[in-house]
Amino acid sequence: MNVPDIVFDPRRLAVLRSYQVLDTLPESGFDDIVQLAAHICATPVALVSLVDGDRQWFKARTGFDGSETDLTRSVCAHSLASPDLLVIPDLALDPRTNANPLVAGEPRIRFYAGAPLVTDDGVALGSLCVIDQVPRPGGLTGQQQTMLRLLARQVMSQLELRRALVERDAILLDKQSAEALEKVTASLYTSLFDAIDAGFCIIEMKFEDGAAVDYRFDEVNPAFAMQTGLHDARGKWMRDLHPGHEQHWFDLYGKVARTGESIRFENPARELGDRWYEVHAFPIITSGGSRKVGILFNDISDRKEIELARRETERVQELVNGELSHRMKNMFAMVQAIATQTLRSVPDKVPVEAFTSRIHALSKAHDVLLHQDWTAAPIGDILKAVLGSLERIDRFELAGDKVILGARATLTVALLLHELTTNAIKYGSLSNDTGSVAVSWRLAGAGDGVELVLNWRESGGPAIGPPTRRGFGSRLIQTGLVGSGGVDLDYDAAGLRAEFRAPLVQVQLS
């Protein structure tokens, strides 16, 4: 794929690197924007993509694996020369992108819309883009286009604010640059503070006997009142506005003023309406040498409420699962006890032991389901639980895709594995100390015809043949993964070879 010449423009690359954002950690301000873009445009993927000289790097992403790609995979590189939105309804039909490995191969993206990220000087750094895996002949709606442009401008505001704060922190390290710091701060007031949604203020601390007891608001931005509910706060002391404001706020800001070290934290403010805040507090040294504290913050109360609700739900679910597990184990123990008492007069103990062993296998399967809220279970977890309860797990070689089984299929597969393992212990490769079993599973087919295929391969055991009589265990094996057959058994001299197949939809819904 041809890469546009603008990508390699030295001035463009120098401006991009001046933001000092490449290879930095994720930040919620950018992460929130891509989530919003994907939601508004109804796409599975949204990216904040910055195009460097040899790669495109994602400051924020949703629905896309990996933090960067090489330029041959970059559609965003083409947006750099676009004065407005770049919309490609079908990437497979556009000569600029049809050879792109992400289009021609996995994940086979087909639709792209990108709003260029352009500085005030007209330099394009990358794009805020949305991507889909199906073509969109109609592109985006007018409203979606407008919102994508607005969100791209918000990305640039975040980048400008970030660069300004990085520059400010660098200046703070040099005591001889105090005058330059004031100029940067003044520039921030006029160019950024009025535009950002985050609350910002500069405070002056008040100490008594070395303890922080109050602070005064020297500067506040327009978003400050919306974020805090404090109106006309400039020039006022916090204790006058809210006498009951928690002491931990004063202690934290006082520490920043005393030590000159920045801090990031999340804290509740009960006096401000039970709100939670995400805060970045940093020192500001004035020309007179006094220390003030700059505070950039966001109200994260909604996020905290969701987190608390999730934790409570998880706590309740854990209690319910624990009680269910306890009751299920008691029930299985009672069934085994009743069976033992009822069948103790039976002279042949082999079927009695087989019955109780099957009950134990079902118990293990129920344990796995309880850990998954009783809805479904990964096949790998089922294998480890059932096989490990009968024989050392290191005698099995397990390999396969991540496949989730429905609750009913979980129990059926558990019984199937139990029968195969007990047979291997009695007659097959696990009847000695050197044999082993390879168990693998995979998905085969496409579309509605996808099947789960489970293979059982024994080796290192004695030569075996088909069973001479057809008991319950043999009949159970013949029922397969979901009780509908799909079984191929080969009693090879080297060991049993078995393949079980079932439609994936039955395995997951059963």
The DSSP secondary structure of 25-91, one letter per residue, reads PP-HHHHHHHHHHHHHHT-SEEEEEEE-SSEEEEEEEES--SSEEEGGG-SHHHHTT-SS-EEES-T
Strands 376-378 and 396-400: unpaired
Backbone angles phi, psi at 330, to 5 degrees: -65, -40
Residue 60 — pLDDT band, cuts 50, 70, 90? Answer: very high
Q: What is the pLDDT of residues 405-442, one digit of tens each?
A: 877 777 778 778 888 888 888 888 998 998 999 999 99
Whether the ω angle into residue 462 lies within 30 degrees of 0, i.e. cis, is no
Run of H or E residues at 206:
strand 199-208
For a pLDDT cut of 90, what percent of the chain falls above it? Answer: 40
Contact between 285 and 291 (Cβ < 8 Å): yes
Q: Looking at residue 414, what is its pLDDT? A: 78
Contact 418, 409 (CB under 8 A): no
| CATH code matching the domain that covers 197-299, chosen among 3.40.50.1100, 3.40.190.10, 3.30.450.20, 3.40.190.290 | 3.30.450.20
Helix, strand or coil, per DSSP, at residue 258: helix
- With respect to CATH, is domain 304-509 assigned 3.10.50.40? no
The per-residue pLDDT for 481 is: 78
> Which residue ranges make up each domain of the chain?
5-153, 197-299, 304-509
| Token couple for 116 | 């260029």
Amino acid at 386: V
106 Cβ contact list (under 8 Å, min separation 6): none
Q: Is residue 199 within 8 Å of 296, Cβ to Cβ?
A: yes
CA torsion, points 185, 191, 195, 199, in degrees to nearest 10?
10
Region 222-235: mean pLDDT is: 88
The whole-chain average pLDDT of the chain stands at 82
Q: Name the token pair of 174.
A: 């040099």
Determine the pLDDT at residue 301.
85
Q: In this structure, which topology does domain 5-153 adopt according to CATH?
A: Beta-Lactamase (3.30.450)
CA distance 114 to 112: 7
pTM: predicted TM-score of the whole model, two decimal places: 0.37
Confidence (pLDDT) at 469: 73
- What count of Cα atoms within 13 Å lies in the side-chain half-sphere of residue 417? 33
For the cut 80, the answer to whether the pLDDT of residue 209 exceeds it is: yes
**Res. 374 pLDDT band, cuts 50 70 90:** very low
Q: For residue 55, what pLDDT is reported?
A: 92
Helix (H) or strand (E) holding 378, with range, is strand 376-378
- Summarised one tens digit per residue, pLDDT across range 241-285 is 989 899 999 999 999 998 889 999 998 888 888 889 999 999 987
Tens digit of pLDDT for each residue in 11-50? 999 999 999 999 999 999 899 999 999 999 999 999 999 9
In the predicted model, is pLDDT for residue 455 greater than 90? yes
Distance in angstroms (rounded) separating the CA atoms of residues 146 and 55: 28
- What does the pLDDT look like over 167-204, one tens digit per residue? 877 776 655 555 555 566 556 556 666 677 788 889 99
The partner residues of 220 in beta bridges, in order of sequence, read 201
Collect all residues with Cβ–Cβ distance below 8 Å to 454 and sequence separation of at least 6.
379, 413, 439, 440, 441, 481, 499, 500, 501
Tell me if 5-153 shares its fold with 197-299: yes
Q: In whole angstroms, how far apart are CA 197 and each of 13, 27, 41, 186?
A: 29, 15, 22, 19
Cβ pair 163, 184 in contact under 8 A: no
* pLDDT at residue 162, as a whole number: 87
Q: Is it the case that residue 330 has pLDDT exceeding 90?
A: no
